[in-house]
Structure 1
Amino acid sequence: MKFNELGLSKSIQQALAHKGYDTPTPIQAQSIPLLLKGEDLLGIAQTGTGKTAAFMLPSIQHLAQDDREPSPRSCRKLVLAPTRELVGQIAANAREYGALSALRVASIVGGTSVNKDKQKLARGVDILVATPGRLEDLISQKALKLDSTQILVLDEADQMLDLGFIHALKRIVALLPKDRQTLLFSATMPKAIKQLASQYLTNPKQVSVAPAATTAERVDQFVCFLNQGEKQALLTLSIRKGMESGEMDRVLVFTRTKHGADRVVKKLGRMGIEANAIHGNKSQPQRERSLAAFRSGKVPILVATDIAARGIDIPGVSHVFNFELPNVPEQYVHRIGRTARAGASGVAIAFCAPDERDYLRDIQKLTGITLGKVPLPSGFREAVDAVEASATAPFRQEDGNRPEHNRPLGRKPKPSAKPKPRHNRRGPGGAQGQAGGQGGGQGSQGGGNRNRRRKQRDTAG
């Protein structure tokens, strides 16, 4: 089947041809004809299956054929997604697919200027892609109204529920017209998603593609058993060998926590391996710069948390390292799917500490695949000591150059610079504080939990 058999307009077919697409993915072939008829849809699909085009192409055609202008401070189609990166990816695709139409597309996320968002919405937009948190802020400030929205899309709905957006979703949906088309996409189908679908969808059609095992089967998966304190050394040696031999292109490394991601990046840097971290504590400009450097290959190593990785759709990721195994097995499938985009294959390597063996068992049960065991390389114990010694060595030698082992891969040493005179001038002191920390007393524990949940939602959006 080809795109020209699905009932799409010539302009959309031309936009697809410009991107080199002529054959729809399974979810596109199933969904597009239904959505062109105006049906509500419940789609169960992993990332990387082409679902963005599945829910975007029919509505672009519908909105383009309807020559009504959006009224000020309104949107005709609303797409809600859980993370900033996913919002950016969806909006970019909408602009590309609708390049030959006059549709206005806008994206709004937390961590950016509210005033600029208000300016985007002032004239009204055809397609608005947003995170729930920022959307609610703009609604409360009367910068946006939803009473004329015709189409609602909830993307990665399971992740939105995991992040605690359920109450925000209820408040947002309550402002929408009842006579609308609603689409809900989720990677999994827990009970909460079924309940959400029954509340918001009217006689929906259901499509399902790429179950967890199917995605996992496209990836060569391995596990290495070692102690937690040895993981950094193995990661360093593996990346250095893979980059120098040309076996690795772009590499994604997953940790469970934000601070863990920063720690891995810092230690890789001290060994001369340049990497960036992406997580909820990073500002939006920081996240965008890190993704751009990763996409271009300028910094081919990206260390990420599960939440921040939603929406990363970058071809050429050859390897995924699970530096720490996720405690939710479905997250493992999301992680390794970053190296199996659009039917491609890849390599995933899991580092499993003794206290993570239960997580590994759950992962293998979900995927139905037993990960191939990889032994530690010969001389690894000695290498651990060498890496730890190098990581704690001074970053610069007296001659002004980095030590040979601390030099970034592929970069030549810089010539020695003349020493600058030192001024005996004391600047403002004090270490930069970090958000978070333990609650003070038992009486404040509930409030602390609420604040942590609220912070998690804010940083995600």
Structure 2
Amino acid sequence: MKFNTLDINESILKAVEEKGYSEPTPIQEKAIPHALLGKDILGCAQTGTGKTAAFLIPTIQRLKKHDATKIRSLILTPTRELAIQIEENFVEYAKYTNIKSAIIFGGVPQKPQEKAIRQGVDIVVATPGRLLDLINQKLIDIKEIEVFILDEADRMLDMGFLFDVKKIIALLPTKKQTLFFSATMPKEIKELTKTLLHEPVIIEVTPPSSTVDNITQSLYYVDKPNKKNLLLDILKNNKIDSALIFTRTKNNANRLGKFLDAAHIKVGIIHGNKTQSARQIALTKFKKGDIKVLVATDIAARGIDINELSYVFNYDIPTDAEAYVHRIGRTGRAGNNGISISFADIDELDLVKSIQKLIRLEIPVVKEHKFPMLNTIPTPKKKPKSSSNKPKSTKSYASKSNKDSKVSKDGKQSKVVGENKKKNFKDSKKGEYKPYQKNAKSSSKSYSNKSKPTQQRTPKQGTRGR
């Protein structure tokens, strides 16, 4: 089937052909005709299968029939990188139309986004947090949305955005077209579709949580300290045009980036602590080929769209098995072949098993390499602190360095006022608190009281003097 058989408008079809697309992917072929008819769609497909065009093309064509100044379509996505990717694709598909868009996400100044909205746009591509901010400030009105698109719904759940998504959905009009796309279908996402979609057309082009067939996967067992050495060996001894390397933490990304840079490999780093501008600069250089390697945390797992990306490395095995699917889905896109290489140390064996169970595939193991795994003893897991109902002893609070601490019967710590400590006491007449004072002429204590001079107490017979 060709794109020109899908009843797509000539201006949009021209832009699609200029982008180099002649035949639609399976999800585009199945989704676009139903979307053009205004039907709700529940699409389940892997990353890299063409979901973005599947919802952008029919939405642009539907909005092209009118020339309105109000916001008529909302595309909600979990990350800034994915929002930028969608916006870039929109600009390419809509360049021969009069449809305008704006992109809304946090981590950057709000004023330029406000300006774009005020100038009038048809489509808003947004992340949940910043969108809710602008709605609460009454700078955006989504009450007249005609087409609502929720992209990467399962990632919204992973990132803790489900509550924000529900708040946004509650502000949308009841009558609208909804296009719902997700790579996986967890229970919470299925429940959301029941309340959001009306008689949807269900499109499932591949089994949930499966991996694309044209990605060659391999697994290396290696001791953790040797991961960087194995990576360097593979990068230097193979003709790798571009490699996206995933780490589990920001610190690992920084350390690995410095190591590769010291080995004279041009590298960029993106993670949550990097500013949006720094992340975009690194990503742009990677796309242009100015740098060969990009090291990233999972923040980039669904925000990078590079058709020519040849290699994806799982330097750290992800703790979430589904993240593996999204990571390696960055390669093998648009029908191209891709290679996924994963490194696993002794502490990551269970994570590998979880991934293989999810994708229903045993990842081939490369046994012959320079840095085989020698450590066969997993790192002992820290035992959780045991809770006890017994009251804590006084010694747990008092210390030799703090002689003024004591513990009351209820276990709460209080202060004992010593000779050099200030003390407040209540004046019995005025009901005021006044500071403790020490008589400079004698060691006896006195209290400041305007109504009565200080008098020294005389001990009564039978009592001990002070």
TM interval, shorter chain, is 0.7 to 0.9
In the superposition, relative to structure 1, how do residues 189 and 82 fare at CA in structure 2: closer, same or farther (>3 Å)? same
Superposition pairs for residues 246-261 of structure 1, below 5 Å?
247-261=239-253
Checking the alignment, whether the CA contact within 8 Å between 2:302 and 2:327 is kept in structure 1 is: no
- Are the structure 2 counterparts of residues 167 and 214 from structure 1 closer, same or farther at C-alpha, using a change threshold of 3 Å? closer
TM-score (norm 2): 0.77
Aligned to 2:385: none
DSSP-derived class of the 1:43 partner: strand
Q: Hey, what's the Cα distance between the residues in 2 that align with 1:372 and 1:147?
A: 51
- Which secondary structure does the structure 2 equivalent of 1:252 belong to? strand
> 292, 296, 315: which is aligned to 1:300?
292
Q: Counterpart in 2 of 1:277?
A: 269
Distance in 2 between residues matched to 1:228 and 1:217, nearest whole Å: 29
- Deviation, structure 1 residue 353: 0.3
After TM superposition, the structure 1 = structure 2 runs for residues 162-201 of structure 1, keeping only pairs within 5 Å, are 162-201=158-197
Tell me the equivalent position of 1:338: 330
Match in the other structure for 2:340 = 348
Report which of the two structures shows the higher radius of gyration computed on alpha carbons: 2
* Residues 243, 312 of structure 2: 8 Å contact kept: yes
Paired residue for 1:48? 48
Alignment of 1:63 onto 2:52:
no
Residue 105 of structure 1: aligned partner: 101
Instruction: Specify which of 76, 79, 83 is matched with residue 87 of structure 1.
Output: 83
Which one of 213, 220, 227 corresponds to residue 217 of structure 1?
A: 213
Are residue 371 (structure 1) and residue 371 (structure 2) matched?
no
Equivalents in 2 of 1:42, 1:368: separation in Å? 23
C-alpha contact 1:224 1:376 (8 A) present in aligned 2: no
Q: Which runs of 5+ in 2 are unaligned?
A: 373-466
Other-structure match for 1:389: none
Post-superposition offset of 1:155: 0.3
SS in structure 2 opposite 1:183?
A: strand
CA offsets 1:203-240 (integer angstroms, 9 cap, x no match):
11110123367634322211111111111111122212
CA–CA separation in structure 2 for the residues paired with 1:87 and 1:214: 24
Aligned twin of 1:22: 22
1:282 shift after superposition = 1.1
Give the structure, 1 or 2, with the largest relative contact order (CA under 8 Å, sep 6 or more): 1
Deviations 1:330-372 (A, max 9, x none): 2112111212112221221111100111111122222232222
Measure, in 2, the Cα distance between the counterparts of 1:178 and 1:21.
35
Gaps of 5+ in 1: 382-461
Alignment check: 8 A CA contact 2:46 2:212 kept: no
Asked whether the equivalents of residues 244 and 312 of structure 2 are also in contact (C-alpha less than 8 Å), the reply is yes
1:110-167 per-residue CA deviation (whole Å, 9 max, x = no partner) reads: 1111111110101321011000011011111111111111111000000011111112
Q: More helix by proportion, 1 or 2?
A: 1
Contact map agreement 1:250 1:297 (CA 8 A) in 2: yes
What percentage of aligned pairs have identical amino acids?
A: 47
Could you report, residue by residue, the CA deviation over 1:154-212 in whole angstroms, capped at 9, with x for unpaired residues?
A: 00000011111112112111111111111111110111111110111111111012336
1:228 to 217, 224, 240: 224
Give the AA of the match of 1:179: K
d(CA) in 2 for partners of 1:217, 1:202: 33
Kindly indicate whether residue 117 of structure 2 is the aligned counterpart of residue 121 of structure 1: yes
Tell me whether 1:139 sits opposite 2:135 in the alignment.
yes
The alpha-carbon deviation at position 107 of structure 1 amounts to 0.6
State TM-score, norm by structure 1. 0.78
Taking the aligned partners of 1:213 and 1:85, their CA distance within structure 2 comes to 22
Supply the AA of the counterpart residue of 1:300. K
Q: Which amino acid aligns with 1:96?
A: E
The answer to whether the Cα contact below 8 Å between 1:280 and 1:308 also exists between their aligned partners in 2 is no
User: How many residues align structurally?
Assistant: 372
Helix, strand or coil for the counterpart of 1:113? Answer: coil
**What SS is found at the alignment partner of 2:261?**
helix
* Conserved 8 A contact 2:45-2:208: no
> What RMSD in Å do the two structures reach over aligned CA positions?
1.5
Q: 2: CA distance between counterparts of 1:63 and 1:317? A: 33
**Range with bigger deviation, 211-220 or 300-309:** 211-220
Counterpart for residue 8 of structure 1? 8
- Once the 2 structures are TM-superposed, how far is the Cα of residue 37 of structure 1 from its aligned partner? 0.8
Deviation at 1:376, TM superposition (A): 5.2
Name the CA distance, whole Å, in 2 between partners of 1:38 and 1:190.
Answer: 26
Matched-pair contact (CA < 8 Å) for 1:212–1:333: no
Structure 1 stretch 83-92 or stretch 262-271: which is displaced more?
Answer: 262-271
Asked if 1 retains the 8 angstrom alpha-carbon contact of 2:244 and 2:295, the reply is yes
Q: Distance in 1 between matches of 2:254 and 2:275?
A: 14
* Alpha-carbon contact 1:215-1:340 (below 8 Å) kept: no
